[in-house]
Structure 1
């Protein structure tokens, strides 16, 4: 177990350092795509406040346009980082050359539907467990182990939330790599879900280390950023007697889009590449043998 943790820690360090190098050396190109993602999401959120009185057909068309734009920009970002990782020389990589094809966009949308169905299916599977838990707690109340149904209900809610969060988180980590297989390996949507399950099998602890390392770095950077911004706003408010604390959330969103998102995307992409290189499984993996 100790050797495994040492190996995992070294792998996580290597992944983080390579992701940092890619982000640092190509920051402005990656940030440009992240800026487009930020503009797309911000514009769609802003337009949502003004589309309430528009006809349903117009709202549906606008929604489809924003979804399409988000898919194009997001998939371009992934494809661009893939090109950076695969680059053999110092040849320039143009962003226009990383635009996803129509097939990739359609497969990504279908894969997203499969992704949502998988999360929903996990929730359905939890219902029998929660039902059994309810019966156990009712028995505990009848035997006097628990005082009343009020305390039993609180326990049921807390345990149910914990089980649901852990199960959904586990499922999320296992199948979140499906877009990478669609872009990198050109597989079909359902096949991408199966490949994500297969490649993350046996790498779950390493992914937790990667996620933990990223969260730690993000917490440090965000903490420093928040202290600097809040201190600056307090100084401005004190000098000019003008309340601008409402802009803190805007600055935080911009900071996240241009600092956190580029590095996190590179981090997940590098982790994907490492897992694929180490994958020794079948060319057509099945779900049942790769769940656990």
Structure 2
């Protein structure tokens, strides 16, 4: 166990070191794309709120347009970073823009994850329902229903979180391997087999920084909060994008799951 922790920590450190080196060499191009993501997100929220007071249909259309634009920029960013990792410095940014088919695969996979999450919640509810009747005695029905609902939602949230980690790399398989909707999900599931703990360590680093921001905001230390917010905007966000891309390339170097992986063979 100790050896496993050492190996995992070393692997995560290596990913962060490579990411920092890459970000130092190409900071302005990566940070520029991250800034575009920030502007797109802020502009979409502003326009959706403003236009909704005048025209609901137009507001919905604008929300859809900016959603496609936002995730399209995300995929462009990842594709661009992958080209930098591969040493393809001459590749132009316009060549990294995802095609309509790739965007369709992306949203298809996103919809599939949402359906799987809802199905998981319903399945847990159906499995747990007999226990509700087993412990119900007529007097504790409301309390039991409340506890039952909280338990099912809590377990479903944990399993959904694990599911999202397992399938989080599907966009990379779409833009890098030209995989379709379901195949990209299967690829991601196979790639993350045995790497969940390493991914959790990476996630914990960025989560800690976000919690630190929330903590100083809660204490009303606004100067420290603003400083951390600036660091997050200009360093943490670009670094996170590079780290995820480097982690993908590192895991792919050790991938032996084949070209048509099966989900059942890669659960554990």
Q: Same fold (TM over 0.5)?
A: yes
User: What are the equivalent positions in structure 2 for 1:220-235 lying under 5 Å apart?
Assistant: 230-231=222-223
Unpaired segments of 5 or more residues in structure 1? Answer: 234-247
Query: What per-residue deviation string (whole Å, max 9, x for no partner) do you get for residues 191-250 of structure 1?
Result: 0001111111121122122222332355457768999971389xxxxxxxxxxxxxx7xx
Look up the match of 1:266: 242
Aligned residue for 1:10? 10
1:61 equivalent in structure 2:
61
Residue of structure 2 aligned with 1:181, choices 157, 173, 184: 173
The runs of 5 or more residues in structure 2 that have no matched partner are: none
- TM-score normalised to structure 1 length: 0.79
- Tell me the number of residue pairs that the alignment of Structure 1 and Structure 2 aligns: 268
Q: Of the candidates 191, 196, 203, which is equivalent to residue 183 of structure 2?
A: 191
Bigger radius of gyration among the two = 1
Give the whole-Å Cα distance in 1 for the aligned partners of 2:39 and 2:97. Answer: 17
Q: Is the 8 Å Cα contact of residues 133 and 156 (structure 1) preserved in structure 2?
A: no
Label 1:35 to 1:164 Cα distance change in 2 as closer, same or farther (>3 A).
same
Aligned equivalents of 2:149 and 2:64: distance in 1? 37
CA distance in 1 between counterparts of 2:241 and 2:173 reads 15
Show the counterpart of 1:79: 79
Superposed CA RMSD in Å reads 3.0
Given that 2:48 and 2:63 are in contact with CA atoms closer than 8 Å, whether structure 1 keeps it comes out as no
What is the CA–CA distance in structure 2 between the aligned matches of 1:222 and 1:60, rounded to whole Å?
A: 31
Show the counterpart of 1:286. 262
